[in-house]
Structure 1
């Protein structure tokens, strides 16, 4: 297999992002007929079905393999255009997956220099949000070129570097403690106490209770608040006990708006940055640092400043 059609690969990437032929066509400023024709040509070239034409559409396993290649090709194309001082193609963007708590705390300041450079040079940065235990799946499936994850093992063809440790602590509002837990949280009442949970992938509350009271797989009264910022606000409003990043709630603990439960106890989550290895024979030497490498370096600097 050689000389894969780059226009067809761009169509595949647009379909993966937009999940419909209509929106993919709008994104690439071509007709739906052109999208279909280029996709059929690419499928004929590789001899396999790449997209299941459902609502929403989804990629087949061969489609995910080609999607990884399409993402890497787009990133290389962006790097070469930047190196040559040429205009970056419209809608060109680098997608990375970030966990919500990192996004709510240290990631935006870390990435700001990269984003500001992108505004000047014409490329974009797309942030995909998922639980830190699941961002790695986005990388494996070719949806993103890099991710912040709890997984320490690199995929084949990827680089990994440790970022640091996010420390999670149990907190509640003074009013909630006075009303619901006048004797404090203990072995007798934790099962009847409302705990706020980010989503059904989030198990930090279970981990904290298991450590605090030496119980396996504790069952909790869970109340879901699927936003990092709203989660902390709900804890402040007295909706229940939360297990949140110490970095995020530190000012609220200092002001007395929140109280730490068992402050000596925490759930420590080690984070890693993963990215695909991108090597181009086209970039002039000495080439500037590749964009994906710049993103990884920026996250590493931000993590060193913010995390343990």
Structure 2
């Protein structure tokens, strides 16, 4: 089995993570020519192209495997650094910024319960990188080897990974108090739901449609949507009267209690089950990360559903 140059592997990962050769060179503090040389040498050793020179740059299937290998090497080095700090604090160096430990977490979890779980790890020096996306697609980052773990709504384990249930997050349909008074003083129902614009996270966000179909027993709906790719931004847009939105109850609870926002369908909440997927590896850092997320989810989310026999 071939031994690959760690610097070349990091170079490949940096090109993809930074989106280009120039920015990868800046991050690694080397010349752009050196980046190209390391990539060519690695491609020659592997025997195939690792990056498609397109806009944006994309790793090939072989490139994804090599990036995953690079991230595994990062994890091993993070484990070693952690052990050295425990055994001989003076011998452990600072973690390198370019050796990031990457995880994908859905935006709503970041805005509510997930960040406090990671505070001790970040404060302890772990160079963590959080990639955000919709909860229905964060697992694609893991599938492609771009991250070592993800919080997702996918309840089926990926190949080579382990999975555990974190719990359920409730979503409610809300608007500002002034919007509700003017446009829907009696709330939203199956007859008027289509009259209002819905503030969604992005075009991949299906929560608005899922809530309406479940709440009113409809097979399919067409909604007018406005897109704000930020959980906090969605709340701000709703408060400003952009329309209505399906948002985490955790995130809007205090605003509902203060009367700033109004629950437009109080009889219904959409519960989304969340899962933690990560590489099936023996790693102290990965175990610590998993435990931190599991414990934080246990405090904030509804308990996982118990499956029958």
Distance 1:292 1:39 in 2: 28
Equivalent in 264, 270, 290 of residue 284 of structure 2 = 290
Partner SS state of residue 208, structure 1? helix
Q: Check the 8 A contact 1:16/1:143 in 2, yes or no.
A: no
**Counterpart in 2 of 1:50?**
50
- Show the 5 A alignment for 1:163-242: 163-242=166-245
The 1:78–1:184 alpha-carbon spacing in structure 2 relative to 1, beyond 3 Å, is closer
Residue 151 of structure 1: how far off its partner (Å): 1.0
Equivalent residue in structure 2 for 1:90, among 83, 90, 96:
96
Does 2:70 correspond to 1:70? Answer: yes
- Quick check: 1:98–1:147 contact (8 Å CA) kept in 2? yes
Mark the runs of 5 or more structure 1 residues left unpaired by the alignment. Answer: 280-288
Alpha-carbon shift at residue 237 of structure 1 (Å) = 2.3
1:1-308 paired onto structure 2 within 5 Å: 1-85=1-85, 86-91=92-97, 92-118=99-125, 123-279=126-282, 290-308=284-302
Is the 1:98–1:130 contact (alpha carbons within 8 Å) kept by the matching residues of 2?
yes
Answer whether contact 2:96 2:127 (CA < 8 A) is retained. no
CA distance in 1, matches of 2:19, 2:201: 26
| TM-score, L = length of structure 1 | 0.91
| Offset at residue 101 of structure 1 (A) | 0.5
2:305 paired residue number: none
SS at match of 2:103: strand
Alignment: residue pair count: 295
Displacement of 1:307: 0.5
Q: Which runs of 4 or more aligned residues in structure 1 lie more than 3 Å from their structure 2 counterparts after TM superposition?
A: none
SS at match of 1:229: helix
- What is the RMSD of the two structures over their aligned residues, measured on CA atoms? 1.5
CA displacement at 1:211 relative to structure 2: 1.6
Q: Distance in 1 between matches of 2:93 and 2:258?
A: 49
In the TM superposition, what is the alpha-carbon distance from 1:186 to its structure 2 partner? 2.3
- SS of match in other structure, 1:219: coil
- Looking at structure 1, the residues matched to 84 and 235 of structure 2 have their Cα atoms a distance apart, in angstroms, of 46
Query: Is contact 2:187–2:265 with CA below 8 Å preserved after alignment?
Result: no
User: Which runs of 5 or more structure 2 residues have no equivalent in the other structure?
Assistant: 86-91, 303-309
